[in-house]
Amino acid sequence: MTFAGIKIKRNIKLQAFVVFIVLLFLFKIFSPSSDSFPLNILNEILVIASTIFLILYFIDLLKTKRINPLSLVMNVGIVSAIIFFLISFSNTIINGLFSNVNERVNNPDLVFGIITFIYALIILAALSYIFLAFKEFFYLNKKQNANTYFNTMVVFIILSAFTAFLKNNHDLSFIKNTFFIVSVLLIIINSLKISWIAFVVKREKLIILFLSIVIAILFAVNLINNSDKEIHHQILMQFSPALNQFFSIIMIYGITYFTILFFTTLFHMPTAEAFDRKAQEVSSFQYFSKLIIQVLDFSELTETITDIGMKVCEAHAAWIVLTEDDNMKIIANKNIGYVSAEKLTDEIFEKNIEKYDKTFILKLERFQGAMQPNDNYSYAAVSPLKAYNTLRGYLVVVKKENFIFDEEDKNAINTFSDYASVAMENSRLLEESIEKERLEKELDVAREIQRKIIPAENPEFDKLEISSAFIPAFEVGGDYYDYFDIGPNKLAFVIADVSGKGISAAFIMAEIKGIFESLTKTIDSPREILIKANQILQRTLDRKSFVSAAYGIIDFEEEKLKLARAGHCPILLLRNGLAENLRPSGLGLGLDFGSRFAETLDEVVLNLQENDTIVLYTDGISEAKNSKDEDFGDFQFQKILLENTNKSADDITNSVLKEISLFSSNNHQHDDITLVILKWKPKIKKDGEEEWQNLTPLLKNKAK
Amino acid sequence: MAEFNTSVKEQGEISKIYLKGYLDAHTAPSLENTFSSLIDNKRYKIVVNFQDLAYISSAGLGVFMAFIEKVRDNNGDIKLTSMTDKVFNIFDLLGFPLLYEIFNSEEEAVNKFIETKNVENK
């Protein structure tokens, strides 16, 4: 609706203009030129009215466009040049077309009338446009409503134009002269309001300086050419004295305005650069706030930093050097190739880095001429990026040949790098906390996997007490133990420790469980099972991962323990108040995939005696640390075991756990702690054959 | 945070890595970098001195496994020396003495490299 509304409104102004022009044309054709007072007034009213509507129409046309002062100056220059050419050629052309021009002007025929009418219309349009341009200049960078002066001026210009038909020798000519003089005075006052020039950048000021003097001269020439003898003047006077007056006023306005513009610009030139910088600084501070909201993306942030870093000191290229573990990493290079930035960085930091804890300027010499022409930089400003007194890196900005960094550049980049440091640090901290949260989630998953892999309960047997304890470390150490049901009268067990921590260890654990679950069903020898497991692991284990494991089978009927150890902690046998390390030779799973693993792997067979206690554990026990960072140690561990050797398996486990927790109460647990105790408690044989039947392992747990 | 650092000394063809502090899952990447840069520079005769190493975890042991193959493929070796009893015990349990040459002193390890070279030359 609004769009349609505007359209109609425009049309009304244009239509009014067209109506008045048509009326004026008809008036010109049918009314002979005369000195009749009312006719003169009617003529002037038509001319002024059409001019006003044309200007109003132009205002509507220009309303939507953003005004750029430089292009406005150029447009005025072009229009004034057009007027200049019209005046210059009006003589030649019209004299060439018509003979006896001076006569015809005062007494025109139809053709001559039409041509002069069109000529006057073009001048009218040009003047209207220039007037409008002055209005735009006046309102440029005006904050408060200062239209009183301008409106007063408009009124006096209209009055001055309207009274122009009063001849110089007329009694009332003083009225015309008064209005004219007041108009000119107001023009001078309004021309002084020229503050917009300060906000133009230096390069544009130079152009305006040149243009303004040319345009001022053009206006002066146009005014001089509008003398009595010129055809142009005669045509205008014949058409309407008001238009002629308007012409003179606009020309005077042009001369005044552009002369003042010239001198103002001239006086602004020395400070232009400083002003540019101040303006830049102001906009830089706007950028700073941009830095704050960009902390979510580190690389985007650094891009912005180099971008603004260049702007604050008018440099030609910039990049950031991150210092991590004495390595220098170049990021966010702007306007410069990575290789060039690297070369220049080497030159800048080839001397001692330590001294660069303040912003400094450095002359670049080494690669002068050696680089690509585009990369011929002569000076670098280097500003440290610090956070909490820790150096994180440097912001480097460089300028090309013939440009230098002055003290203000240095201050600007220094201030800016402080802001940039804070923004970068915030971004880093945010990233760190996100990463930490991610790791914690990952560890939750790893602990969950581990919890599901490890048996929830121990199986129960008549001849064997089993007790176990498992305390996971926060980071998931990769401990694993398990029991397998491998047929009547037998129990297989395994204890393992996967290298590394966290989710990767948890996955390997899961894989190991799968391997043992399947192998125990078909192979009866601990040694063979470990050899086979090692072969299977070759397919998936990476080179730096390995698994220590011990695998044993207890035969309830033969009362024997078969045991093989692949790099695991020794298995302890408590017998008759002594602790014995069962430590058959064997490499950790995954350490060797050739024949050596099998060659070096031994299997021991042990005849079980009553009250034999077999202790399986991982290094989490012997390496548990106290507040002084001392190990719990094997000796202490064995001592506690022996002290409690006559107790039940559960009681022994509890005693060990109690001692460990007492020992390491003030320190956090680094590794998983796993302890499995198997105590051989055969029933006395006198119960006879029947008793043997009942000794079949009851893997109640497995049935669940 | 447990402290760990490495330093490297060159002796002719042989590079000697000195370990200090606690080598665990968190500090292992630092030793990995040391090995990587030696291998990048085609220095395959490596002696690792454990004199000042207080502790090594399974992840620390993994570092040696990660590089041994590459080093031996290039006619080099990683020889381990000067371990404290505690550290040696960890290596020993896993069977590392079957895979690596472990010496009491750095000198012995260096001499072994030189001997091997002399034998090859004859």
B24 contacts in chain A (CB < 8 Å)? 670
More confident residue, A96 or A271: A271
Q: Greater confidence, A36 or A626? A: A626
Q: What pLDDT score was predicted for residue A528?
A: 95
DSSP assignment of A283-331: HHHHHHHHHHHTTT-HHHHHHHHHHHHHHHTT-SEEEEEEEETTEEEEE
Instruction: Please report the pLDDT score of residue A110 as a whole number.
Output: 74
Mark whether A605 and A516 lie in a shared domain.
yes
Residue A452 forms part of a structural domain: no
DSSP for A668-687, please give it. ---S-EEEEEEEE-PPPGGG
Cβ contact A591–B25 (<8 Å): no
**Which pLDDT tens digit goes with each residue over A378-433?**
888 888 888 877 888 889 998 887 788 888 788 888 888 888 888 888 888 888 89
* Residue of A189, A200, A177 whose CA lies nearest to A148: A189
Burial class (CB in 10 A: 0-12, 13-18, 19+), A356: middle
* Distance of alpha carbon B23 from alpha carbon A95, whole angstroms: 105
Q: Are residues A92 and A57 in the same domain?
A: no
Q: Is the pLDDT of residue A560 over 60?
A: yes
pLDDT for the residue numbered A689: 46
A497, A591, A670 ranked by CB distance to B65: nearest: A591
- At residue A318's C-alpha, the angle toward residues A312 and A320, to 5°, is 110
CA angle in degrees (0–180, nearest 5) for A126-A130-A132: 115
Do A478 and A398 belong together in one domain?
no
Q: Kindly state whether A209 is in contact with chain B, defined as any CB-CB distance less than 8 angstroms.
A: no
pLDDT of residue A542: 87
Of B59, B63, B95, the CB nearest to A600: B95
Kindly state whether residues A642 and A540 are assigned to the same domain: yes
Cβ of A499 under 8 Å from any chain B Cβ? yes
Tell me the shortest Cα–Cα distance from B18 to chain A, in angstroms: 18
Q: Which residue has the higher pLDDT, B17 or A281?
A: B17
Q: Is residue A156 part of a domain?
A: yes
State whether B65 and A570 contact (CB < 8 Å): no
State which of A270, A286, A311 marks the end of a domain.
A270
Specify if A195 maps to a domain.
yes
Please give the structure tokens belonging to residue A347.
Answer: 């030159």
The stretch A623-645 carries a mean pLDDT of 89
Total CB pairs under 8 A between chain A and B: 62
pLDDT at A100: 66
* A499/B61 CB distance under 8 A: yes
Which helix (H) or strand (E) is A153 found in, with range? helix A147-162
Same domain, A45 and A188: no
Query: What is the domain-level CATH number for residue A612?
Result: 3.60.40.10
Is position A327 within any domain? Answer: yes
pTM: 0.57
Find chain A residues with C-beta within 8 A of B4's C-beta. none
Q: How confident is the model at residue A12 (pLDDT cuts 50, 70, 90)?
A: confident
Query: Are A487 and A576 in a shared domain?
Result: yes
Q: E strand or H helix at B55, and its extent?
A: strand B45-56
Same domain assignment for residues A420 and A350: yes
* pLDDT value at residue A108: 67
Mean pLDDT for chain A overall: 83
Domains: count for chain A: 4
Radius of gyration of chain A (CA): 50
Residue A534 has pLDDT above 90, yes or no: yes
Residue, of A324 and A568, whose pLDDT is higher = A568
Q: Which domain holds residue B68?
A: 4-121
Across the interface, whether the CB atoms of A591 and B99 are under 8 A apart is answered: yes
Taking the C-alpha atoms of residue A81 and residue A518, their distance in angstroms, rounded to an integer, is: 98
Report the residue count for chain B: 122
- Domain identity same for A43 and A100: no
- The sign one gets for the Cα dihedral A624, A626, A630, A636 is negative
Annotate B1-39 with b (16+ C-beta within 10 A) or e (fewer): eeebebeeeeeeebbbbbbbbbbbbbbbebbeebbeebb
- The total number of structural domains in chain B stands at 1
- Expressed as residue numbers, the domain containing A90 is 70-270
pLDDT at position B104 over 90: yes
Quick one: pLDDT band at residue A516, thresholds 50, 70, 90?
very high
Q: Is A698 inside any structural domain?
A: no
Residues A230, A101 contacting (CB under 8 angstroms): no
User: Please, which residues have CB within 8 angstroms of residue A33's CB and are 6 or more apart in sequence?
Assistant: A106, A107, A108, A238
The pLDDT, as a whole number, for residue A688 is 47
Q: Which residues contact B36 (CB under 8 A, 6 or more apart)?
A: B67
Please, are residues A545 and A500 in contact by the beta-carbon 8 Å criterion? yes
**pLDDT of the residue at A474:** 82
Please give the DSSP secondary-structure letter assigned to residue A588. Answer: P
What's the pLDDT tens digit per position in A123-166? 889 999 999 888 888 887 665 566 788 888 888 988 888 888 77
Q: Which pLDDT score, from 0 to 100, does residue A686 have?
A: 45
* pLDDT at residue A703, rounded to an integer: 40
Q: How are beta strands B14-23 and B45-56 bridged, if at all?
A: parallel
Residue of B37, B58, B72, B89 for testing the chain A interface, max A β-carbons within 10 Å: B58
Q: Residue A30 above 80 pLDDT?
A: no
Q: How many angstroms away from the CA of A340 is the closest CA of chain B?
A: 25
User: Would you call A600 and B98 a contact, using CB atoms and an 8 Å cutoff?
Assistant: yes
pLDDT value of position A356: 67
**Is the Cβ pair B94, A585 closer than 8 Å?**
no
Give domain status of residue A559, yes or no: yes
Residue B50 to residues A237, A667, B21, B109, Cα–Cα distance (Å): 109, 26, 10, 12
Alpha-carbon distance A681 to nearest alpha carbon in chain B (angstroms):
30
Among A69-78, A527-536, A537-546, B7-16, the range with the most confident prediction by mean pLDDT is: A527-536
Element at B9 (helix H, strand E): strand B4-11
Cα distance from A500 to chain B (closest Cα, Å)?
5
Which positions ≥6 away from A29 have C-beta within 8 Å? Answer: A110, A113
In a domain, A379, yes or no: yes
Structural domain includes residue A344: yes
**For residue range A670-704, what is the model confidence (pLDDT) as tens digits?**
889 999 999 999 865 444 444 444 444 444 444 43
> What residues 555-594 of chain A have any CB closer than 8 A to a CB of chain B?
567-570, 585-588, 590-592
A302 or A372: which leads in pLDDT: A302
Q: Any idea what the CATH number is for the domain that residue B76 is in?
A: 3.30.750.24
Q: What is the DSSP letter of A353?
A: S
Q: Does the model's ipTM exceed the 0.85 cut?
A: yes
Q: How far is A702 from chain B (nearest CA, A)?
A: 32
